[in-house]
Amino acid sequence: MSRNLLILGAAPSLGELRDTLIRLEDTIIFALIERSQFRHNRDIYEADKMHFKDGYRGSFLTWFLKEVECVHARVRRYQSPDEYPFTNNLPDPVLPPLEYPPVLVDPARININDEIFDVYVNTVVPGITADGDDNNYGSSATRDIECLQALSRRIHYGKFVAESKFQDPATHDEYVRHIKAGDRAKLMELLTNTRVEEQLLRRLKAKALIYGQDLSSACPDSVGNGLLPVSAAGESGAGERVKTRVDYDLVVSLYRDYVIPLTKEVEVEYLIRRLDG
């Protein structure tokens, strides 16, 4: 995705941006499935549960995040306008800066990763994992970081979506009026597209149902007969609820209650500052 942002001369269209959001649904569902194979492992989220030889005070996950983000910062990850770190005071890149086409007007580099982290640790992880401790701390935290990065990229992509809506001649003047009035509620109303949200949630349920199935004991023939038949409602041919590796209703509620609202929050916060300077 970063490469695309580098080579795009002009702002991406709303259609192109929505295609990226659709692709990120797959990334997020698979990352959640990966994390859900391990138990909750609550200790990795609690500060001072582990003794760090380097004197670090905090949770295992925040220690791990900081280490990973240091490496990623050194290879310029956070120079990309769709990548935002969860930790601070990161080192400078070892390579010269890249020139990204100036699509966004975002001097404050709006970053809501603290909110995303909070929702992920306190709501998502307990929802998608079985309770208990299986000692897979490194494996769990590795998957956590993948989930967090994917969610963060998806949610901060709202800036590009907001910019594209702001540039649209059909709504430009209306956006400018609400921005000048500092009216966040009106901006929220204007940028909301209920039809797109409903379609997204339906698609997401279908994807979570299909990607979440464990096909290890299925014996399909060469044209695929023999795979578990699943209806859109999540019922097997026999009428019972399909057991998937990650609960598809949870994936839908994650998007409905957090991912979409946080994306819209990013869009509003981006737009409200759009005319500054």
How near is the Cβ of 254 to ligand PRE at its closest, in Å? 12
How far apart are the C-alpha atoms of 79 and 268, rounded to whole Å?
22
Backbone angles phi, psi at 235, to 5 degrees: -115, 140
77 in contact with ligand PRE (CB under 6 A): no
**What secondary structure does DSSP assign to 2-13, as a single string?**
HHHHHH-SSPPP
Instruction: Choose between 156 and 245: whose C-beta lies nearer to ligand PRE.
Output: 156
Q: Based on CB atoms, which residue is closest to ligand PRE, 68 or 158?
A: 158
The answer to whether 13 contacts ligand PRE (rule: CB under 6 A) is no
Q: Tell me the C-alpha distance between 90 and 73, whole Å.
A: 6
Catalytic status, residue 88 = no
- Site residues (CB under 6 A) for ligand PRE, limited to 156-185: 161
Q: Does 36 bind ligand PRE (CB under 6 A)?
A: no
Q: One of 143, 263, 264, 274 is an active-site residue; which one?
A: 263
Tell me, residue by residue from 95 to 124, as one string, x for binding to ligand PRE by CB under 6 A and - for no binding.
------------------------------
Residue type (1 letter), 19: D
Token pair 């259609």 is found at 15
Interatomic CA distance for residues 205 and 60, integer angstroms: 32
CA 60/CA 203 separation, integer angstroms: 35
Nearer to ligand PRE, 134 or 197 (CB): 197
Number of residues that bind ligand PRE (CB under 6 A): 13
Q: Which residue has the tokens 């609820």?
A: 241
If one asks whether residue 192 binds ligand PRE (CB under 6 A), the answer comes out as yes
Report the residue number, 18 or 274, with the smaller CB distance to ligand PRE. Answer: 18
Nearer to ligand PRE (CB atom), residue 20 or residue 41: 20
State the first-to-last Cα distance of the chain, in angstroms, to the nearest integer: 29
Active-site annotation holder among 42, 74, 193, 273: 193
Name the closest residue to ligand PRE (Cβ).
263
Q: CA of 216: how far to CAs of 37, 212, 224, in Å?
A: 15, 12, 14
Query: Are 252 and 29 a contacting pair, CB within 8 Å?
Result: no
Residue 200 binding ligand PRE, by CB under 6 A: yes
From residue 44, give the alpha-carbon distance in Å to each of 133, 138, 246.
Answer: 10, 9, 21
Question: What phi, psi does 221 have (nearest 5°)?
Answer: -85, -170
245 catalytic per annotation: no
Q: Which is nearer to ligand PRE, 207 or 264 (CB)?
A: 264
Residue 67 annotated among the catalytic residues of the structure: no
Least separation in angstroms between residue 249's CB and ligand PRE is: 18
For residue 113, indicate whether it is catalytic: no
DSSP secondary structure code for residue 43 in this structure = G
**Which of 121, 191, 204, 254: binder of ligand PRE (CB under 6 A)?**
191
Picking from 148, 182, 134, 163, the residue whose alpha carbon sits closest to that of residue 38 is: 134
* Among 193, 201, 253, 256, contact with ligand PRE (rule: CB under 6 A): 193
Active site residue 263: yes
Nearest to 78 by CA among 92, 62, 96: 92
57 catalytic? Reply is no
Report the interface residues with ligand PRE, using CB under 6 A: 18, 21, 161, 191-193, 196-197, 200, 260, 263-264, 267
**Catalytic residue IDs:** 18, 154, 165, 193, 197, 263, 267
